[in-house]
Chain A
Amino acid sequence: MNSFVRRIEETDVTETVIGSRPQADGGTAQAPMLFEAADFSVRTGQTPILERVTLSIRKGEVLGIVGESGAGKSTLGKCIARALPRQFTTAGRLDVFGEDIGQMPASRHRALMGDRIAFVPQEPTSALNPVRRIGSLFGEHLTRLGVPKAEQQARMVAALSEVMLPDPEAVLNRYAFQLSGGMNQRIMIAMAFASRPDLVISDEATTALDMITQERTIVTLNDMRARYGCGVLFITHDLRLAGHFCDRVAVLRNGVVVEEGPAAQVLEAPQHPYSQGLKAATPRLDGPPHPLAAPSPKLRIPAQPAPIMAARGLAVRYGDPKSAGGQVEIMRDVDLQVEVAEFVGLIGRSGSGKSTIARILAGLQQPTEGDILLDGRVLGNSASDWQDRIASAQMVFQDPSSALNPRRRVWDIVTQAMVARGERLKSDRRRRAAELLADVGLDERLLDAYPRQMSGGQRQRVNIARALCVMPRLLIADEIVSGLDVSVQAQVIYLLLELRQRHDIALLMVSHDLSVLRQLCDRVVVMDQGAIVEAGPTQQVLDAPQHEATRALIAAAPPDDLSKTWPRGTEWDSNDKTPE
């Protein structure tokens, strides 16, 4: 186990807060206070969710709340919205505009919500009613704000122009599902700012978006804040993002604010051991490969490259070429190969076809054209080819909570493959399961646990252990670290590298996180709109990108250096046109 991970886990919850209290901060003391939590606690039964949290936001200020899952980040936003489940109890004060949220009458609270306090949600597409046009949803919001019907159209067009949506009139006539996630998020921002709110609460507003869309959303948010001078409560798990966008940052751990202060200070030179651990666990964009990532000796030996698995001329098309809509081309001319013990990263924007390649290689999807080769032999549809394939290449799925059957116990999940081979004896299976758990660094006591009883990181390890049961030579991993907290992410990276040293495993890793690929992969392959546009050694591709799509991906990631300007500005690419 890495030392910094252990440090995070062993940090004492009760340690004192380091950093300046907002009261002591003189810089913005004149600006009016928008939001103030004073010794604010939330608990459910005996379990504390937030413990004596003291925070504040003044006008024009962005306060970032960072922390890992379960730290209580979202609870603060929920308290302001008064959306806490019933069994939660609160103590202390939580003021907005100098009034205690807990004490104000429901009607007063309703009047503030959506007017002086606005929310930007995590999943913009599910926040917009899919059966109503954007114009109708926006119009309803304006009616509520008291804008007369006659002025609404002009107001909506102006608002959508402000968030830099091309062709606002056309957007108003669309449904949410016809627009991209990034466009929907900008619509949510436009709606949030329609009331000229004084306080905006953004809960992981960019987490569901890809890097390029994330950058654009942050640009928009930043722009609107500068224009209207509101305060922003910015909840995120991404330290770099918080560092670039926030003025002040509070690090939350198990409901306790362990450190709070100016963003640059907290993130560049954290004082508290937990924040230091978080910083250490965050992979750097320009950093060296992981200490364990030295290429396996095996990789260098063969003079002739010996790919385990290769794709040749893959194309995927949907629809009937003779029908009116014609065919939709998802992917074309994809050639890809993974050598023995090689770690290959596959990057690209969402919708570029990365996951489709992973599924095709694993055998879960058939390409319209092209072949998959295993050890140089074309795989057909026969049962024996399928057996060869699943014995050599295994897939690790993105979301462990969906990839693990909730009604099976851990030992049963990780040894599924033995049942298929006819090894049904429970004692044998349990013995093998114990070995596999040891391989992925899990305690044997978890053998009889159900997936629901484990943490996200533990589940992802079980997910990996299952793929290892057949001792495959290639692991195909679809975004397996992107949903994880940084500390857990560091554990999984370590585990994968360790597996390579021990078992000479090869990896094809689909990810949008450049910093993770940089640490982990020997080679990266860049996809854009269904085609491979660039491939090469990791350092070379990331440091000197040749293709425009690669450059855009790299530029969109918030840099490690907080003094660098990010986001850079407002340039939109061709993907963002309003659909016909």
Chain B
Amino acid sequence: MTDWTEVLRDWRVGLGGLLLLVLMGVALAAPWLAPHDPNAQDLLWVLLPPSWAPGGDPAYLLGTDTLGRDVLSRLIWATRSAAYVAVLSTIGAAVLGITLALIAGYAGGVLDWIIMRAVELLLSFPAVVFALVLIAALGPGLENVIIAVIAVDWTRFARVLRSEVRQIKGRDYVAAARLMGATPLQVVLQDVLPNIMPSILMLVSLEMGGAVVAETIISFVSASAEADVPTWGVIIADGLSDIYATPAPVIAAVSSIVVFVLATILFSDGLRRRTDPRQIERRGAAA
């Protein structure tokens, strides 16, 4: 049995989890945290440098952009967009991917063939282009970005987990459960699903980072949300034209993305190290 207090004590899990918690907190509290309306333009104060630089204004901690919008407020609201996309598309991709992986891996046969060919078809096409095409069809909006990310990323869950399901299906305890009269659904829920949980957790935390990166790319080419929803990709795109005058918006948005993705990687890496039996054995006591 995985000892979860031991897992939480891993520095990677701790640091990654803490960063993710802070980012989620910022996202939830955005309306109260942001000092300004993220879309309020103040054309008298455009391209202000950060407050500590010469010419900075203490009212605008990270300065303003081309339209005189407060960079800090936009960054905070963009965190909210990112968290929204990350959480919902991860849940969607996980539920869809896990379900199909369980069906493909446990049932095998024709169902397995169909599901795995669908996975290969999707993987053989550039994911971002596919998402962009989907959004072009669905129209702008964060919800549609989420749908596009789910449509692409469920394949990761399906492919990785299906092979694990197949492995577990071959274990004697699955055969034993069948001999005890368990129905396939009971076997899957009680004997298979709990044993792929470590992998699911790892994929979920990786997927959060992946979803944020995908959303950034989509919004960078202005295909993501409506114009009044700040996202990190939009901030980078807007800041790029004036990067020599005020690099602050781009640096701030890029750092936010890096911190978010790094946090998810640290978290999932730590989880893997602490829950993968092979890794535990390698470090643990040998007889």
Contacts and interface: CB of A to CB of B under 8 A. Distances in A.
Interface of A: 44, 47, 49, 69-70, 72, 74-75, 78, 84-85, 87-88, 362-364, 387, 390, 394-395, 397-399, 402-408, 416-417, 419-421, 450, 452-453, 466-467, 469-470
A319 to B, nearest CB: 19
Contacts of B172: 397-399, 402-403
A416 B175 contact: no
Contacts of A421: 181
A273 to B, nearest CB: 23
Contacts of A452: 1
B181 A74 contact: no
Among A387, A405, A453, find the residue whose CB has the most chain B CB atoms closer than 10 A: A405
B285 A87 contact: yes
B283 A85 contact: yes
Contacts of B171: 402-403
B190 to A, nearest CB: 7
A404 B180 CA distance: 13
Contacts of A70: 287
B190 A466 contact: no
A466 B287 contact: no
Nearest to B277: A406
B241 interface: no
8 contacts: A49-B287, A70-B287, A406-B1, A407-B1, A417-B180, A419-B182, A421-B181, A452-B1
Q: Give the 7 A-B residue pairs with the shortest CB-CB distance, closest first.
A: A420-B181, A403-B172, A407-B194, A397-B172, A417-B180, A416-B180, A405-B173
Contacts of B194: 405, 407-408
A284 B200 CA distance: 50
Contacts of B183: 420
Nearest to B183: A420
B127 interface: no
Interface string B167-199: 000011101111111110010001100110100
A404 B173 contact: yes
Among B175, B182, B284, find the residue whose CB has the most chain A CB atoms closer than 10 A: B175
A461 to B, nearest CB: 15
B177 A416 contact: yes
Contacts of B180: 390, 416-417, 419-420, 466, 469-470
B121 interface: no
Contacts, number: 84
Contacts of A466: 176, 180
A191 B14 CA distance: 48
Given A364-B175, A405-B173, A452-B1, A75 B182 contact: no
B190 A408 contact: yes
A72 B183 CA distance: 43
Nearest to B284: A85
B287 A72 contact: yes
B171 to A, nearest CB: 5
A385 to B, nearest CB: 13
B137 interface: no
Contacts of A390: 179-181
A311 B246 CA distance: 84
B181 A364 contact: no
Contacts of B44: none
A44 B285 CA distance: 8
B188 to A, nearest CB: 12
B1 A450 contact: yes
A469 B182 CA distance: 14
B53 interface: no
A71 to B, nearest CB: 9
Contacts of A416: 176-177, 180, 182
Among B173, B197, B286, B287, find the residue whose CB has the most chain A CB atoms closer than 10 A: B173
Contact of B191 (A47, A398, A405, A467): A405
Contacts of A399: 172
Nearest to A409: B1
